[in-house]
């Protein structure tokens, strides 16, 4: 079932790119095509990052364990759209002018933080294979892949900083990210808190001396 469904999900993930391609082909990208491409690829990067981060909570809360099989694909699509987004910037926007790019990355803080978000995704994409999980060992691999949290945070800040007035859209993404990260903090802190509670209960129990 999953084997059959995976190619369908894969193709669905390519729809945003196909739509962009179709718009470009039919001359429907408007007066500022670079802006349209930058925005669409940026939007899909943050969406795929959040979809990837949503897999674990949904899987645990609904018991649909098979969802894990899609996490890597969604994560790689986040990287794919981030690469297209970055390429649009360095190629279509800056024409590979390294000097201007470095100046921009250093001077415009929303570009600095976006660039950080992108760089953080590179080791995750490179080590996404089963071979790398084996090579690094489960624990170390998992620790490395927590970089996705920081990449998503950087992505949301990047978006927040670049909008001029209406922050509703980045705020939506920030709220979703807060829930997804909040869930992880609760899962991590829950057992620690109940262990502490049990310990303090034990300690506060009055010892009754034996007669």
Q: How far is the CB of 133 from ligand HEM (least distance, A)?
A: 23
By beta-carbon proximity to ligand HEM, the closer residue of 123 and 137 is 123
Q: 78 with 52: CB under 8 angstroms?
A: yes
By beta-carbon proximity to ligand HEM, the closer residue of 4 and 164 is 164
Could you list the residues that contact ligand HEM (CB under 6 A)? 38-39, 42-43, 45-46, 82, 85-86, 89, 111, 114-115, 117-118, 151, 154-155, 158-159, 162
Q: How far is the CB of 32 from ligand HEM (least distance, A)?
A: 10
By beta-carbon proximity to ligand HEM, the closer residue of 87 and 187 is 87
Q: How far is the CB of 62 from ligand HEM (least distance, A)?
A: 26
By beta-carbon proximity to ligand HEM, the closer residue of 76 and 82 is 82
- Which residue is associated with the tokens 């945070």? 153
Q: How far is the CB of 47 from ligand HEM (least distance, A)?
A: 8
Query: Which of 47, 42, 40 lies closest to 113, judged by CA?
Result: 42
Helix (H, G, I), strand (E, B) or coil at 210: coil
Q: How far is the CB of 145 from ligand HEM (least distance, A)?
A: 15
Taking the C-alpha atoms of residue 98 and residue 85, their distance in angstroms, rounded to an integer, is 17
Query: Which of 131, 150, 140, 144 lies closest to 49, judged by CA?
Result: 150
By beta-carbon proximity to ligand HEM, the closer residue of 66 and 100 is 100
Cα dihedral: 106, 111, 113, 118 (round 10):
-110
């Amino acid at each position: 079932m999953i084997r059959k469904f995976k190619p369908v999900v894969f193709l669905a993930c390519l729809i945003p790119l196909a739509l962009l391609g179709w718009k470009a082909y039919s001359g429907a990208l408007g007066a500022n095509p670079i802006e349209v491409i930058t925005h669409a690829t940026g939007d899909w990067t943050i969406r795929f990052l959040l979809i990837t981060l949503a897999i674990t909570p949904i899987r645990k809360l609904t018991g649909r364990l098979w969802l894990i099989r899609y996490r890597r694909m969604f994560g790689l699509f986040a990287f794919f759209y981030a690469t297209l987004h970055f390429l649009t910037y360095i190629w279509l926007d800056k024409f590979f002018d390294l000097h201007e790019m470095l100046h921009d990355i250093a001077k415009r803080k929303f570009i600095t933080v976006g660039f950080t978000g992108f760089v953080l995704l590179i080791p995750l994409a490179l080590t996404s294979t089963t071979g790398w999980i084996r090579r690094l060992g489960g624990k170390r691999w998992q620790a490395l892949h927590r970089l996705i949290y920081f990449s998503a945070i950087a992505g949301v800040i990047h978006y927040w900083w670049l909008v001029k007035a209406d922050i509703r859209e980045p705020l939506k993404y920030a709220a979703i990210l807060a829930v997804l990260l909040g869930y992880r903090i609760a899962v991590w802190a829950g057992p620690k808190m109940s262990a502490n509670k049990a310990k303090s209960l034990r300690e506060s129990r009055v010892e009754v001396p034996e007669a």
